[in-house]
Amino acid sequence: MQSDLKQLIDKLNTHKKLSLEEWTALFDNYTDEEREYAASIAREISKSVFSNKIYIRGIVEFSNICKNDCLYCGIRRSNTNAQRYRLTDDEILLCCDEGYEYGFRTFVLQSGEDSFFTTSKMAEIVRKIKSSHPDCAVTLSLGEKEYDELKELKEAGADRYLLRHETADKEHYEKLHPEQMSFEHRMKCLSDLLSLGFQTGAGMMIGSPYQTSRLLAKDMMFLCDLKPHMIGTGPFLPHKDTPFRDMEKGSYKLTLFVLSLCRIMLPRVLLPATTALGTIAPDGREQGVLAGANVIMPNLSPTAVRKKYMLYDGKICTEDSSQECRFCIQGRMKKIGYEVEITRGDYK
């Protein structure tokens, strides 16, 4: 006789949705047995959609200057210990050129909300990357923007946009963000991105302060309705210069379980094994892939600035070169029977 929880996982696999109570029961009561059961189903789904291929995206962290003050984030405005930097257009392009040589066909440009990079400046950078590398996808992760700004970036050639919703509950959102930020605006950005035709990524941290099983259940319900093309999710990790410095980090196993459940619910979703997952455990990204993830985002930022883009303490790969990160991932994937694919890796 299957455990009740395994039946819920089967039900998710068949119907692609669960009720709030069912999700909550899963998160409250799962053990290694159910987690491994979900991982084995998720892994089979990944294999059937993507074979044993892993998509890689090169991430260029081009500015850590941020006007926002998210309580969890190491590059929040109030952190006066952060050494701030901005890359020039040429430096950003050089990172992409280098990445192209190593086989990256997607570049992710991520930053704080830095008003120096106006929408027209960003559009120009996107056009330059697309003209040097017309066979590549450009993903932006710049925080919240207005509809017209997103439209301009789309028209400049940006293909994808990552904007984690962070939490699907307004009250919880307000505990993680300062008063100036609004849950409604973040949600509006996500719907704007989808209506503009971006391949869109949402997502949440696992174990963020004040998150409960029921709130995480709400995130799963939200993702089920939104049907994003990508889901970015990793454990919350505290940063010493934030108000959440003494909060407990998120659970590694729960992160793996959530990855599997995302894969089961949205079989074709692009699902990264994140850097935070690789930070919480030495083989976190491998275990993420074995739990159903199909994307890895190695760092393409210049080594000189990597330590300055510290969203949380202990972030991995801050001493390495882009080439080292790229081939490290290839070796790690090979060891577990997967291969890095040289492709844009669009949503199918």
Assess 318 for contact with ligand SAH (CB under 6 A): no
- x/- contact string, 225-254, with ligand SAH (CB under 6 A)? ---------x-xx-x---------------
Which range touches ligand SAH (CB under 6 A), out of 8-16, 46-54, 98-106, 109-117?
109-117
Q: How many angstroms separate the CA atoms of 270 and 279, rounded? A: 20
> Site residues for ligand SAH, window 181-200 (CB under 6 A)?
none
Assess 276 for contact with ligand SAH (CB under 6 A): yes
Which range touches ligand SAH (CB under 6 A), out of 99-107, 159-167, 299-307, 331-339?
159-167
Nearer to ligand SAH, 9 or 293 (CB): 293
Query: Please, what is the end-to-end C-alpha distance for the chain in angstroms?
Result: 37
Bridge partners, 161 (sequence order) = 140, 200
Nearer to ligand SAH, 100 or 161 (CB): 161
Assess 311 for contact with ligand SAH (CB under 6 A): yes
Assess 141 for contact with ligand SAH (CB under 6 A): yes
Contact 199, 230 (CB under 8 A): yes
Determine the length of the chain: 348
Sheet holding 160-162, edge to edge: 58-63, 106-111, 137-141, 160-162, 199-202, 230-231
Q: Which residues contact 178 (CB under 8 A, 6 or more apart)?
A: 68, 69, 70, 71
Assess 164 for contact with ligand SAH (CB under 6 A): yes
Nearer to ligand SAH, 18 or 254 (CB): 254
Nearer to ligand SAH, 129 or 205 (CB): 205
Q: How many angstroms separate the CA atoms of 238 and 76, rounded? A: 13
Nearer to ligand SAH, 186 or 263 (CB): 186
Q: Which residues contact 57 (CB under 8 A, 6 or more apart)?
A: 104, 106, 107, 108, 139, 272, 295, 296, 297, 298, 345
Tell me whether residue 23 is exposed, middle or buried, using C-beta atoms within 10 angstroms of its C-beta: 0 to 12, 13 to 18, 19 or more. buried
> Site residues for ligand SAH, window 58-77 (CB under 6 A)?
72-73
Assess 163 for contact with ligand SAH (CB under 6 A): yes
| Smallest distance from ligand SAH to CB 162, Å | 7
Q: Which residues contact 60 (CB under 8 A, 6 or more apart)?
A: 87, 92, 95, 96, 99, 107, 108, 109, 110, 300, 301
Token duo for residue 69: 């003050």
| Smallest distance from ligand SAH to CB 196, Å | 17
| Smallest distance from ligand SAH to CB 237, Å | 4
| Smallest distance from ligand SAH to CB 315, Å | 9
Assess 113 for contact with ligand SAH (CB under 6 A): yes
Which range touches ligand SAH (CB under 6 A), out of 125-133, 163-171, 193-201, 218-226?
163-171
Total of residues contacting ligand SAH (CB under 6 A)? 18
Nearer to ligand SAH, 238 or 292 (CB): 238
Instruction: Return the residue of 58, 143, 207, 209 that touches ligand SAH, per CB under 6 A.
Output: 143
Bridge partners, 199 (sequence order) = 160
Q: Which of 129, 124, 134, 127 is nearest to 93 (CA)?
A: 129
Q: How many angstroms separate the CA atoms of 273 and 54, rounded? A: 10
Nearer to ligand SAH, 113 or 219 (CB): 113
Sheet holding 53-56, edge to edge: 295-296, 53-56, 339-341
| Positions in the binding site for ligand SAH (CB under 6 A) | 72-73, 110, 112-113, 141, 143, 163-164, 166, 205, 234, 236-237, 239, 276, 311-312
